[in-house]
Amino acid sequence: MSDGRIQSLDRTHLWHPYTQHALAGDHVEITRASGAYLYDATGRRIFDAISSWWVTLHGHAHPVIARAVADQASRLEQVIFAGFTHEPAVLLAADLVRIVPEGLTRVFYTDDGSTAVEVALKMALQYWENAGERRRLVLALEHAYHGDTFGAMSVSARGVFTAAFGDKLFDVVRLPDPSEHDVAAALEQELARRGGEIAAVIVEPMLMGAGGMRMWTADALRRVRQLTRQHDVFLIADEVLTGFGRTGPLFACNHAGITPDILCLSKGLTGGFLPLGATLASERLFQGHVSNDRARTLFHGHSFTANPIACAAARASIALLGGECDAERARIERAHRSAALRLSEHARVRNARVLGTVLAFEVDGESDYLDTLGPALREFALERGVLIRPLGNTVYFLPPYAASDGDLSDAYGVVLDFLDR
């Protein structure tokens, strides 16, 4: 049991993400985790209904991944990835190329989802620069979220996350929210008007996460891919959230049967064990940076690029996909669909929707990220042993695949109890 020392040091030294410390109380001290559960310093068990910010794929402390991490750490923990290579990175790249949509042949490793997006943007923009074409425009979706670094913020929606940095972000052409509008028709108009200036279109395929768990159709995604291919514009698919089965199939692009030119991965890539990002590109994009002129190099890298331990964790996580994992995801989706029907009957619930292992809905009230409903529901649920973190008035469940039907039923019940009060 904690003696209070950790909380005291936390208050004295730490700056937590997405936290207004003038309003926040003490942070919950977690001492261990297993499967779908976190355990705090008092021994209380907490059901992790959001996969600890969408990263924990199979479950916390999964023994297969833990063994892979320990084994790799005892042999090679880190090496510079410029001028050197190693087996975990090479074999992981081969694993990824095998399971992603066909046609993506090159893997560039980074540290997280935001940096995976940064690399994707730089790949696309520099390709055209190297080719001698001045294509500088990027098209992005309304309500998009791609990360908190400057390029990723630029292609994300403007709002409270970006307000302090607006004059430092590059301009993009904004396409309408595909969950509410005909995004393909709008894209077609922009391509007809400015196609020769456009370098890339970036989307969160099928599911726009932090923007409110907005779900859009496979047909719209397919039409976007057709138009970008027709006009020779690169399509960047940000699957940082949706990758590795979150929306049903292994990748959200599989819903539409498409291959983007660039695919961004992170979060569940290592099963939630370690930070790692990967940006996959077509051979054409890679060859566009291959030259005897060193100035055409993609000048990007990270100190921990292709960290061997993270790569080993990712290989172990990928090996767990398929078979039993497919059945677990299908079971979670069935539970979500049943809950969506039940939730839809509540007077305060709007637009209950399911995509694979994601269940989301809105609660009547302000549709602002800073709405007080989110913190109130978060605290109410935590007192009852459930971790959820609403996005404004959008409530969602995105559990690890180890979540049981009982876990899910209890979590749905906690939210309904809150709404009844």
Residues identified as active-site: 18, 145, 238, 267
Q: Which of 339, 354, 95, 403 is nearest to 248 (CA)?
A: 354
Q: At what angle do helices 63-73 and 308-319 cross, to 10 degrees?
A: 150
CA 221 – CA 34 distance, rounded (Å)? 37
Write out the DSSP string of 69-120.
Answer: HHHHHTT-----SSS---HHHHHHHHHHHHHSSTTEEEEEEESSHHHHHHHH
Amino acid at 115: T
Cβ 37 vs Cβ 46: under 8 Å: yes
282 half-sphere exposure, CB direction, 13 A CA radius? 16
**Could you give the angle at the alpha carbon of 39 between the alpha carbons of 37 and 41, nearest 5°?**
170
- Residue 400: which of 29, 37, 4, 19 has the closest Cα? 37
DSSP tally for the chain: helices H, then strands E: 14, 16
Fill in the amino acid letter for 48: D
Identify the CA nearest to 411 among candidates 381, 375, 380.
381
DSSP 304-357: TTT-HHHHHHHHHHHHT-STHHHHHHHHHHHHHHHHHHHHHTSTTEEEEEEETT
Q: How many CB atoms lie within 10 A of CB 340?
A: 18
Rounded distance between C-alpha atoms, residue 46 and residue 53, angstroms: 15
Residue with tokens 């055409």: 296
**Rounded alpha-carbon distances, angstroms, from residue 162 to 159, 170, 211, 364:** 5, 12, 13, 26
Q: What are the CA-CA distances from residue 43 to residues 32, 46, 125, 204, 400 (Å)?
A: 9, 10, 51, 38, 21
Q: Which amino acid is at 58?
A: H
